[in-house]
Amino acid sequence: MRILLTNDDGIHAEGLSVLERIARQLSDDIWVIAPETDQSGLAHSLTLSNPLRLRKIDERHYAVRGTPTDCVIMGVKHLMPQAPDLIISGVNSGSNMADDVTYSGTVAGAIEGTLLGIKSIALSQEYNLDGGTRILPWEVVEERAPALLKKLLGVELAKGVLININFPSCAASEIAGTRVTAQGKLSHGLTIEERHDGRGLPYYWLRYGRGKDVPAENSDVAAIRSNHISITPLQLDLTAHEMRATLENAFA
């Protein structure tokens, strides 16, 4: 089985090294094609106005000056002798759940693989903060992901469906179980912070934060908050099918 690995945290991210160790429990045919720099929050974007620069690390490790989507296309369409059987994107530093999946470059890597007709899975590890420092229990995803991936390999996914897996921030021994979940909902957490440079001119940062939402019981957010591993099937079809009849009547 040939596996392509990518991420959005960049080629030097610890989560990518964790992912490679996970993948090597499934196969020896592993290719790593990841962004040269951090591409967090770039979602399913393409690099169209600049050339893609490729840096070869060794025969099966490459860095691309581009997005996770660029990396998947570069791997499948150019670098690999044959298309992979599986694409895994991650392991992201931090969860990718609820509305955040629309921003996520990690999920986007799996989206692009799904568009190419390849079984694709996104993995993310939640963290805690200690005085502003991220504390990531990488041992949780490294211990639990291999068995989950082996099970998912035996599941035939419907066309246009990808899998998004989030791991809670707790000790591996404190995992409460695994839940198949729905994409949850969180309050919009982005605000604008204005600052000023040395000449007094304004510039701006996006600031990220969340409220105290009460998540739906079957959601990815609820699962992670209760120390469960969350497995969410996502689909490429964004059509709001339940609204079609309403709109058809409105425009009849």
Average pLDDT estimate for 111-116 = 98
Average pLDDT estimate for 219-227 = 97
Rounded Cα–Cα distance for residues 148 and 128 (Å): 23
Helix ranges restricted to H, 91-231: 105-115, 138-153, 220-225
Q: What pLDDT does 209 receive?
A: 78
Q: What pLDDT does 208 receive?
A: 81
Q: What pLDDT does 188 receive?
A: 83
Rounded Cα–Cα distance for residues 70 and 47 (Å): 7
Q: What pLDDT does 93 receive?
A: 97
Per the annotation, binding residues are 8-9, 40, 92
Say if residue 91 is preceded by a cis peptide, omega within 30 of 0: yes
Residue pLDDT, tens place only, 181-221: 999 998 888 899 999 999 999 999 999 876 678 899 999 99
- Kindly report which listed range (153-157, 169-173, 210-214) carries the lowest average pLDDT score: 210-214
Mean pLDDT of the chain: 96
Residue pLDDT, tens place only, 118-143: 999 999 999 999 988 999 999 999 99
Average pLDDT estimate for 40-56 = 97
Structural element, H or E, at residue 5: strand 2-6
**With 90 as the cut, is the pLDDT of residue 241 above it?**
yes
Per the annotation, binding residues for a divalent metal cation are 8-9, 40, 92
Structural element, H or E, at residue 204: strand 202-208
Q: What pLDDT does 132 receive?
A: 84
Distance spanning both ends of the chain, measured CA to CA: 51
> By C-alpha distance, which of 120, 19, 40 is closest to 73?
120
From the number of C-beta atoms within 10 Å of its C-beta (0-12, 13-18, 19+), residue 184 rates as buried
**With 90 as the cut, is the pLDDT of residue 180 above it?**
yes
Residue pLDDT, tens place only, 77-94: 999 999 999 999 999 999
Which residue(s) pair with 203 in the sheet?
Answer: 195
Domain definitions of the chain by residue range: 3-185+214-251
Rounded Cα–Cα distance for residues 211 and 24 (Å): 39
Average pLDDT estimate for 160-175 = 97
Domain 3-185+214-251 of CATH type 3.40.1210.10: yes
